[in-house]
Amino acid sequence: MNALRAIDPATDKGPATGRPAVEIRHLSKWFGDFQVLKDVNLTVRNGERIVICGPSGSGKSTLIRCINHLEAHQEGEVIVNGTELKAGMKNLPALRRDIGMVFQQFNLFPHLTVLENCTLALVRAKKMSKAEAKEIAMRNLEKVRIPEQAEKYPSQLSGGQQQRVAIARALCMSPKIMLFDEPTSALDPEMIKEVLDVMTALACEGMTMLCVTHEMGFAREVADRIIFMDQGEIVEEAPPQKFFGAPEAGRTRRFLDQILH
């Protein structure tokens, strides 16, 4: 069974109260003539962990990038923490501070030290003092087990370390939701575990997470629901046990056969 869920009281409370963290209704998006997302519906409760998988080009990245409006959608609604995202909205930066994002390519700022990467948005966007920001940054760097690298530049770190810094940088903003877009796909195999461990720990704390990943071990252990996308549609949506044990759609089964060799 799911070892994590057994030890984690956060998920045993049943459905969290209040508004869902993310509500996506009839979301459609086009790049030119090409429809990337086709009438996607998805509700994520607070504290829920969602894993999204699917073949390349199926729209996984686009879907989670719609949640912090890195991509604008043309049809449907995206409501995050109770606020609907619309093109040209003024308080977008403020809304984005509640949504952390971790990218495949880390996207750390190469001209800033690890510590400065973490404090920049605290000081500039949250108007904190340098000392206060540093304290928060160090706390989060400890969380990802990398405080001793605080004064180094990203290029001096391994891929796994860089990705953990990227996670710490996002956590510094105290987000309510964390989005991960293939966080381990650019990493050498021996570094994947250290990043997944940090993500698992985060899940244990009850963070609301949406992760695009093909790490099925992680999905099995951590996810409340696994979503399979193909050609811009959600094809399958099920808890891990059902997803791996008895997937309904033929497309899901073929995909699982492929990635579980």
Partner 1 sequence: MSFDLSFAIRIIPQVLEGLGNTILVTVLASFGAALLGFTWEILRRSAKPMRYLMRFVIDFIRSTPVLVQLYFMFFVLPYYGILLPAMFVGIFGLSFYYSGYLAEVFKAGIDAIPRGQYEAAQSLGLSSFDTIVFVITPQMLRNIAAPMGSYFVSILKATPYLAVIAVPEMLGSAFDVASETYRYAEPMLVAGILFLILALTVAQLVQRLEKRLMLSTRR
Q: DSSP state, 170?
A: H
Tell me the closest approach of the beta carbon of residue 87 to partner 1, in angstroms: 14
Per-residue binding string, Mg ion, 37-76, x by CB under 5 A, is ------------------------x---------------
Nearer to partner 1, 199 or 234 (CB): 199
Residue at shortest CB range from ligand ATP: 61
Find the length of the chain: 261
Alpha carbons 222 and 187: distance in angstroms, whole number: 20
Q: Which residues contact 19 (CB under 8 A, 6 or more apart)?
A: 79, 81, 82
Nearer to Mg ion, 115 or 223 (CB): 223
List the single partner that 261 binds among ligand ATP, partner 1, Mg ion, none, CB under 5 to 8 Å by kind: none
Nearer to ligand ATP, 72 or 201 (CB): 72
Alpha carbons 59 and 215: distance in angstroms, whole number: 18
Triad 44, 46, 71: Cα angle to 5°: 50
Q: The tokens of 260 are what? A: 């579980």
List the single partner that 59 binds among ligand ATP, Mg ion, partner 1, none, CB under 5 to 8 Å by kind: ligand ATP
Q: Which residues contact 99 (CB under 8 A, 6 or more apart)?
A: 67, 68, 80, 81, 175, 176, 177, 178, 179
156 binds partner 1 (CB under 8 A): yes
Alpha carbons 12 and 42: distance in angstroms, whole number: 21
What are the Cα distances from residue 144, in Å, to 36, 107, 140?
34, 17, 6
Nearer to ligand ATP, 66 or 191 (CB): 66
Per-residue binding string, partner 1, 88-127, x by CB under 8 A, is -----xxxxx-xxx-x-x-xxxxx--------xx--xx--
Tell me the closest approach of the beta carbon of residue 126 to partner 1, in angstroms: 8
**Binding residues for partner 1, per CB under 8 A?**
68, 70, 93-97, 99-101, 103, 105, 107-111, 120-121, 124-125, 153, 155-156, 166, 169-170, 173
**Binding residues for Mg ion, per CB under 5 A?**
61
